[in-house]
Amino acid sequence: MSPKSPEQAGNPVAHALQLARETLPPMHPAGRPFVAGGVAATLLLRRLSKPLGTVAGLATLATAAFFREPRRVPPAREGLALAAADGIVSLIEEATPPPELGLPAEPRMRVSIFLSVFDVHVQRAPATGSVERVAYRPGKFLSADLDKASDDNERNSVLLRTVDGHDLVVVQIAGLVARRILCQIAEGDKISAGRTYGLIRFGSRVDLYLPPGSRVLVSKGQRTIGGETPLAELPQGKD
């Protein structure tokens, strides 16, 4: 916790606000229109019916919670591929990266993370590097925990080249309820490990394709924290 300023020490209200800022996670900008609309609906419904206003207020709070963007601190250790999202490791298997990225059609180890509606839904860079390619592909909206969701569902793929020359592929995949993928980076951008780069609304999945020779550090069923949990050790030298 950051030290209190003299003003905060002598002002209980300022101190309480400081504690709230340090305890409550900030909200991703994409959530502001939804929360603003919820607040307006709550105020309007309260004039008509207090129970309806209460329901609308709770729904607005739930929406604000969905768009939360907690601060994360990546590990200081180098040579790691970090989890790009909060969730549960649902699959660890070899698979071919999305063809729209133009990579060789050779299987790589893929770690899939399933996000429920209760998880933080921002995506974070798995490593520090440069964005080589971003490719969006429309598709279906099957349940994101199904094996074929990686191939059939709407997705947005990013090819990231790390500072050590490794190619990492991170894919945002829409789910049964998720109908909007946001990606806030473009080809040529530099990005640091753990930085938020996108968001999927309301239930989804994120796949990470690793370079050959990587050592997976997680197990199926393990919970991950985006931007903090090491998913794999990258090979020494360029892949």
Could you give the residue numbers annotated as active site?
A: 204
The neighbouring-strand residues paired with 113 are 89, 206
Residue ranges with strand state E in the chain: 80-82, 87-95, 108-115, 122-124, 129-137, 155-162, 167-174, 181-183, 190-191, 196-200, 204-209, 215-216, 223-224, 230-233
C-alpha distance from residue 106 to each of 42, 94, 102, 132, 160 (Å) = 52, 9, 11, 19, 17
Tokens 């690793």 belong to residue: 210
Contact of 97 with 209, CB cutoff 8 Å: yes
Which helix (H) or strand (E) segment is 70 a member of? none
Rounded CA-CA distance 130/168 in Å is: 10
Pairing of strands 215-216, 230-233: antiparallel
| Full DSSP string of 144-165 | TTSTTHHHHB-EEEEEEEETTS
Rounded CA gap, 50 and 118, in Å? Answer: 27
